[in-house]
Amino acid sequence: MRSKNFVNDKQTRFRWVMIGLLFFITVINYMDRSSISYAVDIIAKEFDFTDTQIGLILGAFGIGYVIATFIGGILVDRYGAKRTLFSSVIFWSVALILTALSSGFGMLFIARALLGLAEGPNFPGLTRVVSDWLSVRERTRALSYGLMAVPIGLAIGAPVVSQLIIHLTWRGMFFVLAALALMWLPFWVILFRDVPNESKHVNKAELLHIHEGIEKPTLNANEILLKRKSVVGLWSFLFTDKTLLTNYWSFFVFGYFLFFFMGWLPSYLSQVYHLQLHAIGLFSILPWVLGAILMWLGGYISDKVYLKTNNFRASRTHLIWISQLLAGLCVLPVVFTHELYVAIVFISLAVGFILSANGAYYAVNIDIAKERSATAMGIMDACFALAGFAAPVVTGCLVTVTGHFSAAFVLLTLLALSSVILVLCFHRPKVNLNFS
């Protein structure tokens, strides 16, 4: 257990360093998982793949992810974020190396599924850290900061990955990404602790701030993990609460949008507008940059609304349904335009709006099931992973059957509208379960 010699005169802010660590690994995470979309046309030509096979390769990630994110949430709650994320990064680096060594459809499919397995615990880990290290007034903002890594990773990844492919081939690109993930590990081991009271960089003032001004027993990480294991009545609550069930579906729709654009945007720009790889990398930046800006703004607004209303529905629910409605409406003009710049503007708006509520989905799990927030996140992220399989595969099949992307874009709008209706009817977050 850490020393009691706290510095009392000025509050430390080490909790934001923890968010920074998770931000950087999530940037790498999304560069890794999206990288194949920039290489897929080259790989398809090399191995003579069909659009359906491409969809299956892109969707293979979701098969592994749906298993690992669910189990990962349980592992994070039982064994802590430190050990779980350390193991996760090791294994996803191995999966990237196997991808680089692939020699055909079977190996690529397996390597992508293994990457999904390895990356599964990342977001349950982020949720657990925010739950333990941030006060309720800062959670959505902190989650938004950490989750901004998703669009930023995709924005950075677009030009970086395309240039790596041009200069090092697609195989060399995967080796470089594996090395980047491994470079993060020493910082995680040295700086992170599962609970803030075990960190020598956190003083009493910061601890009081994290705990909303309440002095709490300074349990160590092992004692807290043991307490979580003793919780009863968990599973029925996580699978029957209307708010959580609606949150899961909304996050599936969010994931469908994200994986659709992450996996198929480069091919869409190539097939419809005949752009070359370097141009695709540049045009792919705008949607993710706008997504990062609106995600930050959404998190800021959510916490501000909560401070004024002390109401989770006002601060979380409304942000979710409005973001999905706007994203769904912005997709429709893409179906009817034949102008590249018009398509990019509305795709960027759709991506930006769908990402703007990202922090709110995560915050709901912490708000109403704090002591098992990583497990709740694991279930929600499993729905996201199902979208990670469905979006690439369904899109590949629709493009193969119809010969164009119109039906795939219309499906996005229909999914968004279904989520809006369910959220308005059933999404009413409140503190339903008290584990303390």
296 falls in which pLDDT band (50, 70, 90)?
confident
The pLDDT of residue 207 is 85
Positive or negative: CA dihedral 323, 26, 174, 282: positive
DSSP output for 318-378: HHHHHHHHHHHHHHHHHHH---HHHHHHHHHHHHHHHHHTHHHHHHHHHHH-GGGHHHHHH
Number of C-beta neighbours around residue 78 at 10 A: 15
Give CA–CA dist 314/239, Å, rounded: 23
DSSP state of 197: G
Asked if 178 contacts 97 with a C-beta cutoff of 8 angstroms, the reply is yes
Closest residue by Cα to residue 383 from 291, 287, 259, 261: 259
pTM of this structure: 0.70
- Most confident listed range (242-251, 264-273, 366-375): 242-251
Q: Does the pLDDT of residue 383 top 80, yes or no? A: yes
In sequence order, the 6+-apart residues with CB closer than 8 A to the CB of 260 are 391, 392, 395, 408, 412
Give CA–CA dist 28/8, Å, rounded: 36
The pLDDT of residue 319 is 93
Mean pLDDT for 228-245 is 70
Give CA–CA dist 139/300, Å, rounded: 10
Q: What are phi and psi of 290, to 5 degrees?
A: -65, -40
Range name among 215-224, 332-341, 353-362 with the lowest pLDDT average:
215-224
The tokens for 152 are 């930023």
- Kind and range of the H or E element at 246? helix 242-273
Helices 358-368, 373-402: crossing angle, 10 deg rounding: 150
What is the b/e burial string over 104-135, where b = at least 16 CB atoms within 10 angstroms of the residue's CB? ebeebbbbbbbbbbbbbbbbbbbbbbbbbbbe
Token pair 């874009």: residue: 409
Q: What are phi and psi of 315, to 5 degrees?
A: -90, -25
Helices 139-147, 358-368: crossing angle, 10 deg rounding: 140
Helical H runs in 148-233?
Answer: 149-191, 204-210, 221-229
32 falls in which pLDDT band (50, 70, 90)?
confident
Number of C-beta neighbours around residue 153 at 10 A: 25
Asked if 302 contacts 137 with a C-beta cutoff of 8 angstroms, the reply is no
Token pair 């994986």: residue: 259
In sequence order, the 6+-apart residues with CB closer than 8 A to the CB of 229 are 78
232 falls in which pLDDT band (50, 70, 90)?
very low
Number of C-beta neighbours around residue 7 at 10 A: 12
Burial of 261 from C-beta contacts in 10 A (0-12 / 13-18 / 19+): buried
Give CA–CA dist 42/63, Å, rounded: 23
The pLDDT of residue 2 is 45
Closest residue by Cα to residue 375 from 62, 72, 133: 72
Percentage of residues in the chain with pLDDT exceeding 90? 31
Each residue's pLDDT tens digit, 57-101: 888 887 888 888 878 878 888 888 899 999 999 999 999 999 999
Mean pLDDT for 180-199 is 91
Instruction: Express the helix, strand and coil content of the chain in percent, nearest 5 each.
Output: 80, 0, 20
Asked if 375 contacts 131 with a C-beta cutoff of 8 angstroms, the reply is no
Give CA–CA dist 2/203, Å, rounded: 11
Dihedral Cα 176, 98, 85, 77, nearest 10 deg: 160
1 falls in which pLDDT band (50, 70, 90)?
very low
Instruction: Provide the mean pLDDT of the chain.
Output: 84
The tokens for 256 are 């469908």
Helices (H) and strands (E) in the chain, counts: 19, 0
The pLDDT of residue 110 is 92
